[in-house]
Copies of this chain bind each other. A is one copy, B any other.
Amino acid sequence: MKSNDPPYASLTAHMKEVGLLGGAAVVLGWDQEVLMPPKGVAYRAEQLAQLARMTHEMSTDPRVGDWLSACEDQGFDDPLSEEAVNVRELRRDYDRSTKLPAELVAEQARTASMSKAAWAEARQASDFERFRPWLEKTIDLQRRIADAYGYPSDGEPWDALAEGYEPGCTAAQVEAVFTPLRERLARLTAELMDVGVAPEPVLDRLTLPVEQQEKFVRFVAGELGFDFDAGRLDRSTHPFCGGAHQTDVRMTTRFHDDLLGDALGSTMHETGHAIYAQNTPDRGVGLPMSEPVSLSIHESQSRLWENQVGRSEAFWRWCFPKLAGFFGDAVAGLDQAAVYRGMNRVQPSLIRVEADEATYNLHIMIRFELERRLIRGELTPAGLPAAWNDLYQQTLGLDVPDDARGCLQDIHWSMGAFGYFPTYTLGNLYAAQFFEQASADLPGLEAQFAQGDFKPLRTWLTEKIHTHAMRYRSAELCEHVTGKPLSADPLMRHLESKLKPIYGV
């Protein structure tokens, strides 16, 4: 089958229309998070519901099924060719989408828009009750969505939802990966905590004007390789990276006048997502071969820049001397080694997006357990705050003082994103494994970081990962790039080899 064969050409022309319309919803969603006036929320919810309904109708147009069948009947010489991959992935999307009634799609979109606004207010007021009715409605909708998708008899509803973020992912598999990782991380954390003294997060001890912080993180994002002519960096409550096209990638971050380390980490994280989004080739709007593999692989890119690069000693050899130019006397007393150690402080804490590299994964495991129980119906939304607080006590030894710092801290569930959280830890595992391979392929990588030269790494990531778009599934891509299946060993090696010397263990 060739790209100008009639059924394939009709299919791609149609998917372009779907993609353009979906891209409008992406811009509207960004606008709502970043700058929409508050009274606009109800109208925006109607707009997004309308767009969701229309894109769903277009995606499930029976002609799409016919074009796909015609392409499949003609067959492909190479199952990894652009055309073959597009047809394979569009078939998966079509089969999945045709299972969902249009009205359920519209109701979820409308609910998500209102629910996100209610969540933002509830979090602001630390008042879970304001959000509870929306969470109940969302979970009810998600369970109906899971039933509509269906799942194997040995699976559970959560699997049907996770499939949308991470093809082939099941709760049982995640549990199998998480259980041993939890033990190894708990052991390492305990070992480090036993030292009794931890490095001070010195960058988060300074008071620095937010405007200067913003200039600084924009500089770093640009040096890493974010193209500001093809994207934006703005502020929002919860940092994210979105954007409708390679030429218009939009990331956000957040600032506090005493959390420069947090702002830098968030920005490097979103820059990793954004570099992936800007460098995935444009092989046609709305086609899988122009799109990223999965959320876990997307997260591997953000984590790699945030952690493997941003918390490395080599990075700080380059970055530290730049601080004075942005902050002047306010950073005069800082010591480079102390900043590096501070960026690698490990300390059980309440907020996921502020967590250190090691305990972060324990936050994810808590969310996975809770969302699995919520979707199974074993936990009611009303019981969420207590269950959340119990698990934080049990896993991280912490008392949760209020819901803003507890179960209201993340936006995900308010949008109906159940099955999403585990992809963060899978991303950490992929990041470590990819970075070990990059270090083997590119001798002198650390010396390049110390010079502020991030291009060799970026080029390697584009060649090895970005350029393939959806050609491989996550697990296949990992084998293709590193020659090995995903393993927890690289992440544990990365953490232990860096953190033990810092803590003197």
Which residues of A pack against B, CB within 8 Å?
Answer: 17, 20-21, 23-25, 27-28, 31, 35-40, 42-44, 46-47, 50-51, 54, 227-232, 244-245, 247-248, 285
* Cβ contacts under 8 Å, A228 to chain B: 37
A233 to chain B, nearest CB (A): 10
Residues of B within 8 A of A229 (CB): 37-39
In Å, the complex CA distance between A229 and B227 comes to 33
* Complex alpha-carbon distance, A37 and B54, angstroms: 27
Is A36 a contact of B248 with CB atoms below 8 Å? yes
* A361→B41 CA distance, assembly (Å): 40
| Inter-subunit contact A248/B44 (CB<8 Å) | yes
5 cross-chain pairs, A with B, having the tightest CB-CB distances, nearest first: A40-B248, A39-B230, A20-B50, A39-B247, A43-B245
Known A24-B24, A36-B248, A38-B229; 13 more pairs at CB < 8 Å: A21-B50, A21-B51, A24-B51, A27-B28, A37-B230, A37-B247, A37-B248, A39-B229, A39-B248, A40-B230, A40-B248, A42-B247, A43-B247
User: Given that A37-B229, A285-B46 are contacting pairs, would A54 and B247 also be in contact in the complex, using a CB cutoff of 8 Å?
Assistant: no
Residues in B neighbouring A37, C-beta threshold 8 A = 228-232, 247-248
Kindly provide the distance from the CB of A154 to the nearest chain B CB, expressed in whole angstroms.
42
Number of copies: 2
CB distance from A266 to the nearest CB of B (A): 20
A178 to chain B, nearest CB (A): 39
User: What CA separation (Å) do A348 and B410 show in the bound complex?
Assistant: 59
Given A28-B24, A40-B248, the answer on whether A35 and B232 have CB atoms closer than 8 Å is yes
List residues of chain B with CB within 8 A of the CB of A24: 24-25, 28, 47, 51
Q: Is the CB of A248 within 8 A of B43?
A: yes
Docked CA distance A38–B21 (Å): 20
Could you tell me the distance in whole angstroms from the C-beta of A454 to the nearest C-beta in chain B? 21
A-B contact pairs, 16 of them (CB 8 A): A20-B46, A20-B47, A20-B50, A21-B50, A23-B43, A24-B24, A35-B232, A37-B228, A37-B231, A37-B247, A39-B227, A39-B248, A40-B245, A43-B244, A44-B248, A47-B244
A245 to B42, CA, bound (A): 10
Question: Nearest chain B CB to A447's CB is how many angstroms away?
Answer: 32
Q: Which of A21, A27, A231, A248 has the most CB of B within 10 A?
A: A248
A28, A38, A40, A228 interface centre (most CB from chain B within 10 Å): A40
A243 to chain B, nearest CB (A): 9
A231 to B43, CA, bound (A): 13
In the complex the two chains form, what is the Cα distance from A171 to B38 in whole Å? 43
| Residues on the B chain within 8 Å of A35, using CB | 232
Bound complex: CA A40 to CA B51 (Å): 21
**A248 partner residues in chain B, CB cutoff 8 A:** 36-37, 39-40, 43-44
Q: How far is the CA of A47 from the CA of B286 in the complex (A)?
A: 12
- A231's closest neighbor in chain B, by CB? B37
Contact yes or no, A21 B54, CB < 8 A: yes
Chain B residues near A42 (CB-CB < 8 A): 247
A46 CB contacts on chain B under 8 angstroms? 20, 285
Q: Give the chain B neighbours of A244 by CB distance below 8 A.
A: 43, 47
Give bound CA distance, A23 to B43, whole Å.
10
Cα separation A44 to B228 with both chains bound (whole Å): 17
Bound-state CA distance A23–B231 (Å) is 23
Chain B, residue nearest A35 (CB): B232
Query: A36 vs B36: C-alpha distance in the bound complex, in angstroms?
Result: 15
| Distance A36 CA – B229 CA, assembled complex (angstroms) | 9
A232–B46 Cα gap in the complex (Å)?
20
User: Using Cβ atoms and an 8 Å threshold, which residues of chain B touch A285?
Assistant: 43, 46
Q: Which of A27, A230, A232 is most buried by chain B, counting CB atoms within 10 A of its CB?
A: A27
| Complex Cα spacing A94 to B46, Å | 24
Bound-complex Cα distance A322 to B370 (A): 56
Q: Tell me the nearest residue of chain B to A47, going by C-beta.
A: B20
User: Do A23 and B47 have beta carbons less than 8 Å apart?
Assistant: yes
CA distance A25 to B24 in the complex (A): 8
Chain B: CB-nearest residue to A53: B17
Bound Cα distance from A35 to B231, whole angstroms: 10
Minimum Cβ distance to chain B for residue A34 (Å): 9
Q: Which residue of B lies closest to A41 (CB)?
A: B247
